[in-house]
Structure 1
Amino acid sequence: MTDEPGRLDRRKIKIAARGSQERRRHARVSLRLHGRFWSEEHGEHACRLVDISPGGARILSRLKPAQGDRIVLLVNGIGRLEGDVVRAGEDDFSMAFRATDRKRDKLADAITWRFNKERLGLDEDRHAPRKPGRGRARIRLSDGVVIAANVIDVSVTGAAFECLERPRVDEPVRVGEMSGRVARILDNGFAVVFDPPEAQTNDSEAA
């Protein structure tokens, strides 16, 4: 019995993306998003996210809950999160999320999508289900040709794209503000690993 092409593609994509999924489970990224939080003692208050990972977040707020307080956090573009305050500073506080592994996986996808969306110039696919990893990207190849591709998977360190074009492995590419290289060819596209942050800075200065 042979695999259906669609199933085979999804399986290979999942295997290719496994490393980036593990990295983003623990990655803390800077996201300046507005939101609100609620606690039983203080009620509801406006706040702003400073950074976040699937395990917790740092939040800026005029009102600071006490360490140990139970918090319900609602962040624009991320959703509803619950957890406990683990550190209370002068003008911010940190919380650890209470979440299942499934919830953390979904949160990791949402975080990396928000983190990469603007810097990679990604456009959401309005006709597809609203979930992380769906969108359109413009990719500039080394010869100056620009191609449009569907986003399959995106992480802090790389992304996978679906398209008819097949650039060569190790070819330099640009996706939005990010530079990188083609890491591998997939049945229905290719995967890119982004250059380290210092290389991104040098490329921007040289441009």
Structure 2
Amino acid sequence: MNDEPGRLDRRKIKIAARGAQERRRHARVPLQLHGRFWSEANGEHACRLVDISPGGARIIARLNLAAETRIVLMITSIGRIEGQVVRQSGEEISIRFNAPLRKRDKLADAITWRFNKDRLGLEEDRTAPRKPGRGRARILLSDGVVIQANVVDVSVTGAAFECLERPRVGEGLRVGEMSGRVARILDNGFAVVFDPPEATAAGHEAA
């Protein structure tokens, strides 16, 4: 018996959602943040984050650590994560996190929010519950109009905003350091897809 079209569509949506979730869990983003780490043999030391994903990170530290050394990493605005050293090259140390799936999902939210916060010029909404992906953004539309919007969701490649204004689909805009365009209109706002880094850099040079 053939599946109904609606059932097949729902199945495809679920498969696509699972694939997007897995990519999100493993996406590594560059973040230059200061932090500290602790190991039983070496105590507590300062470090600097190079990049991070929900599965691991690279840090810079003036300390030699053997592979498999268990450490506790504390990064400002990211939180406390346990893991172990995979390898070290000079002062660069690669770490694999030991975290359950639920912890990795929360870590993905924190990483994504911190990655976008500065480059998009986002302001945290102090009156709302502390939750990654919430805040206020100043959006400059292509016609020079500036709007203030609530951040509903944010990722490395795009964001969704809540506001009364409805720009046109395809309209160019700027959010902080990032340029992009309106991808679709939502019930309570609109979604934006950011331009690739090359396009953003070119826009700065042209300006």
Please report the TM-score for the alignment, with normalisation by the length of structure 2.
Answer: 0.88
The aligned runs of 1:55-204 (5 Å cut-off) are 55-204=55-204
Q: Return the alpha-carbon distance in structure 2 between the equivalents of residues 183 and 23 of structure 1.
A: 21
Contact 1:134 1:152 in 2 (8 A): yes
Q: Deviations over 1:137-164 (max 9, x none)?
A: 0111111100000001111100000000
Misfit runs of 4+, over 6 Å: none
Q: CA deviation at 1:64?
A: 2.5
Q: CA deviation at 1:55?
A: 0.7
Q: Deviations over 1:181-202 (max 9, x none)?
A: 1111111011000011110111
Q: CA deviation at 1:46?
A: 1.0
Q: Which runs of 5+ in 2 are unaligned?
A: 1-13
Letter in 1 for 2:40: E
Q: Which runs of 5+ in 1 are unaligned?
A: 1-14
Structure 1 residue aligned with 2:47: 47
Letter in 2 for 1:99: A
Q: CA deviation at 1:131?
A: 1.4
Contact 1:24 1:112 in 2 (8 A): no
Structure 1, 18-27 or 62-71: larger mean CA deviation:
18-27
Q: CA deviation at 1:21?
A: 5.1
Structure 1 residue aligned with 2:4: none
Q: Which has the larger radius of gyration?
A: 2
Helix, strand or coil: the match of 1:198? helix
Q: Return the alpha-carbon distance in structure 2 between the equivalents of residues 64 and 34 of structure 1.
A: 18
- Classify 1:199/1:136 alpha carbon distance in 2 versus 1 (closer, same or farther; 3 Å): same
Q: Return the alpha-carbon distance in structure 1 between the equivalents of residues 89 and 71 of structure 2.
A: 16
Contact 1:58 1:92 in 2 (8 A): yes
Q: Return the alpha-carbon distance in structure 2 between the equivalents of residues 104 and 55 of structure 1.
A: 7
Letter in 2 for 1:112: T
Aligned residues: 191
Q: CA deviation at 1:49?
A: 0.8
Q: CA deviation at 1:76?
A: 0.7
Q: Return the alpha-carbon distance in structure 2 between the equivalents of residues 78 and 144 of structure 1.
A: 35
**Percent of matched pairs sharing the same residue:** 76
Q: Deviations over 1:106-165 (max 9, x none)?
A: 111111111111110101111111111110001111111000000011111000000001
Contact 1:20 1:157 in 2 (8 A): no
Helix, strand or coil: the match of 1:111? helix
Contact 1:64 1:92 in 2 (8 A): no
Structure 2 residue aligned with 1:8: none
Q: Return the alpha-carbon distance in structure 1 between the equivalents of residues 109 and 203 of structure 2.
A: 27
Helix, strand or coil: the match of 2:119? coil
